Amino acid sequence: MKKLLTSSRIALRALQVNRTRSALTMLGIIIGVAAVIAMVGVGSGATERIQAQIQSIGSNLIIVLPGSISSNGVRLGSGGVATLTTDDAKAIADECPSVALTAPTVRGGVQVVYGSNNWATVVQGVTPDYMTLRDYTMLSGQFFTTQDVDASAKVAVLGETVAENLFGANDPTGQVVIIKNVPFTVSGVLTPKGQSPTGQDQDDVILLPISTATQKVLGVNKANAKAIGALMVQAINPQSIDQAIQEMEALLRERHRILPGLDDDFSVRNLTEVFAAQESSAQVMAVLLGAIASVSLIVGGIGIMNIMLVSVTERTREIGLRLAVGAKRRDILSQFLVEAVTLSLAGGLIGILLGVTTSFAISYFAQWSTDIGVLAVAVSFLFSALVGVFFGYYPARTAAFLNPIEALRYE
Amino acid sequence: MAAIINVHNLVKDFRLGEVPVHVLKGISFAIERGDFVAIMGPSGSGKSTLMNILGCLDIPTSGSYTLDGISVGQLESDELAEIRSHKIGFVFQQFNLLARTSAVENVELPLLYTDTPAADRRARAHKALLAVGLSARADHQPSQLSGGQQQRVAIARALVNDPGIILADEPTGALDSRMGLEIMAIFQQLNRDKGITLIVVTHDPEIAGYALRTLHFKDGRLQQDERVEHPRDAAADLRALPEEVAS
């Protein structure tokens, strides 16, 4: 232990004497470690953001949209025709075993007024199941109930953006807002969800009972009073999403009396699948960035080995002298090993600082979210120490096994 | 006086490719404790090889070498390092001081490889510098010192472990005659006052004239072993030199 202390002191002294060279040697490790930390930070930040957005949508979700039918050769786009009804929603919930919940929705743009304030937003008519399905929680007040839906009650739940624009800092619960000349009592405010994966503000919304929305606000569809805009479906678990889709498609084709060979008059989208693809591409990016940065760490290590080898050659006489005045081989070995490890550890520490700073700079200037993991920091610090030992050992061994006579005579 | 160095039938061969070269061809001599020996001979005479063996930097091919009662014959490199560390001080022609390192730190160097506590190291280094008259320059780096001063730092470094023997290989070879005299004066003083055994390799007969005994080598054999009749006094010769303008 005392021996190690002494060789550390000798090594530190030697590094101090060759300040410029020490700094240049460290540069490789500094850049390597900083790159690893910043790149892994950017990568996992992106992954984390996508995960959060997927969480905000709700889990195991499938969306069923009405539309796309051919009428006398004219094909209408998705949602163009009211082919999906509240009865379909009920049938799916009752008859498909892989489906946990269904939530029929209608939506439309409205102007909402409170006192002297008004705000353009989106009204969605939903049922209480929608709250469970989208994992909503309440910031204040309460969601409306099934009774409210049955009674077409004039109650509204506000998204946070709407609440803020109409009421400022005040709590809207119990207040009355006017939508299309109809007064609605605000029953609560939703906890904000932020942006959706597609970049929409999910809090700029007003939720009404679906019955009230169709009858009082958006107007009843002339062709079908029970028509809905979209149906959100939650599968019982992630594995049964595909099963649920098959069950729904079969049920809907049967209920809509579509003959084999003809197109569906609805379309089904597996949201989880779309976002999972996004997430996995972000993860691939993160791994790639980390891998590229690791290469620079290894290059930094080779840099240390290079300089240490040059340093051994340059200091041949010094090594010869140390051997002559009584240094043992292991003294020389540990001196040069400690030099290499000190360089790589100091470089690692500076690199961590630089990497963290860079990550903050990236998230500040480029508005990318970054995530500095304790693990990434610990691993790159440990790795830089290993780099020091690994790439320092060969030059140190070379130094320790010099012949003192030849080393002393070296010009 | 007991012999501190006892060499018997010492042989050293080197291999140059396929051809063995016999550098030392059976050398025998003894050196008493407290002696001052000059080793002389033309280049190729084997005197450097002999010095390396005497300094425990190399081992003989055959024959025996006893240093202070220890048979050094076929020791391992770490055991040789231990002996060098405690019994021998080296002085080289090219000083071999560490650059950008102060005089006192240079002197401390051999102590780093012993069990000397850190606090004692500095004190002993200062004491050794005092012995060669360089206390005032303890914090100077080699580049700020003259050749003679650098060699004195090197002597202090050789002294710091209190060795019984100092081996000097052409210690005045890189110095002018005044500085050379200064070095020889220090050697004579160390030999006289501290009883340190001195072995100096030189090709300069004038330098050899300050020793008490000379060994002449030629072609790997000891050719002549003689006592110096009237050793010169380096300090007196130094005083006799005409004053120089402040060096």
pLDDT in tens, B187-237: 999 999 999 999 999 988 999 999 999 999 999 999 999 998 888 999 999
ipTM value: 0.92
pLDDT of residue A369: 77
Q: Is A326 close to B98, i.e. CB distance below 8 A?
A: no
Residues 275-334 in A contacting B (C-alpha not used; CB under 8 Å): 317-318, 320-331
Query: DSSP for A43-70?
Result: HHHHHHHHHHHHHHH-SSEEEEEEB--E
CA A205 to chain centre: 24
User: Higher pLDDT residue, A55 or A157?
Assistant: A157
In this structure, the answer to whether residues A251 and A360 fall within a common structural domain is: no
Query: Taking all residues of chain B, what is their mean pLDDT, rounded to a whole number?
Result: 90
Residue ending a domain, among A210, A232, A264, is A264
Mutate to test the interface with A, among B112, B120, B153 (most CBs of A within 10 A): B112
pLDDT of residue A71: 54
Q: Is B110 close to A325, i.e. CB distance below 8 A?
A: yes
Report how far apart, in Å, the C-alpha atoms of A182 and of each of A105, A121, A189, A297, B126 are: 20, 16, 19, 66, 99
In this structure, the answer to whether residues A134 and A196 fall within a common structural domain is: yes
pLDDT of residue A383: 84
> Phi/psi at A33 (nearest 5 deg)?
-65, -45
In this structure, the answer to whether residues A316 and A260 fall within a common structural domain is: no
Torsion of CA A31, A34, A40, A46, to 10 degrees: -110
Min Cα distance B87 → chain A (Å) is 10
Q: Using an 8 Å Cβ cutoff, are B210 and B178 in contact? A: no
Does residue A135 belong to any structural domain of this protein? yes
Q: Does residue B78 belong to the interface with chain A, where contact is any CB pair within 8 Å?
A: yes
Does residue A292 belong to any structural domain of this protein? yes
Q: Using an 8 Å Cβ cutoff, are A303 and A33 in contact? A: no
In this structure, the answer to whether residues A182 and A87 fall within a common structural domain is: yes
Q: Rounded to the nearest 5 degrees, what angle is found at the Cα of B143, between the Cα atoms of B142 and B148?
A: 60
Query: Taking all residues of chain A, what is their mean pLDDT, rounded to a whole number?
Result: 84
What percent of chain A is modeled with pLDDT above 70?
A: 94
Count of domains for chain A: 2
Q: Report d(CA A174, CA A166) in Å as an integer.
A: 14
What percent of chain B is modeled with pLDDT above 90?
A: 69
In this structure, the answer to whether residues A121 and A99 fall within a common structural domain is: yes
Residue A205 belongs to domain spanning: 82-264
Residue A73 pLDDT more than 70? no
Q: Is B81 close to A318, i.e. CB distance below 8 A?
A: no
In this structure, the answer to whether residues A373 and A287 fall within a common structural domain is: yes
Ordered domains of chain B (ranges, CATH): 3-240 (3.40.50.300)
Spell out which residues of chain A touch residue B55, defining contact as CB-CB under 8 Å: 324
Q: Using an 8 Å Cβ cutoff, are A237 and A111 in contact? A: no
Token duo for residue B44: 């190729």
pLDDT in tens, B75-105: 888 899 999 999 999 999 999 998 888 999 9
Q: Does residue B82 belong to the interface with chain A, where contact is any CB pair within 8 Å?
A: yes
pLDDT in tens, A302-331: 888 888 888 889 889 999 999 999 999 999
In this structure, the answer to whether residues A330 and A382 fall within a common structural domain is: yes
Task: List the one residue out of A227, A237, A268, A273 whose CA is nearest residue A251.
Answer: A268
Residue A40 pLDDT more than 90? no
In this structure, the answer to whether residues A100 and A244 fall within a common structural domain is: yes
Least confident among A123-127, A139-143, A265-269, A271-275: A271-275
CA A382 to chain centre: 26
Q: Using an 8 Å Cβ cutoff, are B82 and B159 in contact? A: no
In this structure, the answer to whether residues A285 and A253 fall within a common structural domain is: no
Q: Is A324 close to B161, i.e. CB distance below 8 A?
A: no
In this structure, the answer to whether residues A259 and A282 fall within a common structural domain is: no
Does residue A202 belong to any structural domain of this protein? yes
Does residue A70 belong to any structural domain of this protein? no
Does residue A47 belong to any structural domain of this protein? yes
Does residue A383 belong to any structural domain of this protein? yes
Of residues B58, B82, B110, nearest to A405 (C-beta): B58
pLDDT of residue B111: 92
Residue A301 pLDDT more than 60? yes
pLDDT in tens, A20-31: 888 888 888 898
pLDDT of residue B213: 95
User: Higher pLDDT residue, A296 or B182?
Assistant: B182
Q: Using an 8 Å Cβ cutoff, are A106 and A124 in contact? A: yes
Does residue A242 belong to any structural domain of this protein? yes
Query: DSSP for B73-132?
Result: TT--HHHHHHHHHHHEEEE-TT--PPTTS-HHHHHHGGGGGSS--HHHHHHHHHHHHHHT
Residue ending a domain, among A218, A237, A264, is A264
pLDDT of residue B244: 64
Min Cα distance B82 → chain A (Å) is 6
Q: Does residue A13 belong to the interface with chain B, where contact is any CB pair within 8 Å?
A: yes
In this structure, the answer to whether residues A260 and A159 fall within a common structural domain is: yes
Q: Which residue of B has its CA nearest to A329?
A: B78
In this structure, the answer to whether residues A285 and A178 fall within a common structural domain is: no
Report how far apart, in Å, the C-alpha atoms of A58 and of each of A101, A134, B115, B118 are: 12, 4, 70, 68
Quick one: average pLDDT of A148-177? 89
Residue A365 pLDDT more than 80? yes
Does residue A246 belong to any structural domain of this protein? yes
**A90 pLDDT band (50/70/90 cuts)?**
confident
Residue ending a domain, among A241, A264, A287, is A264
**A2 pLDDT band (50/70/90 cuts)?**
low
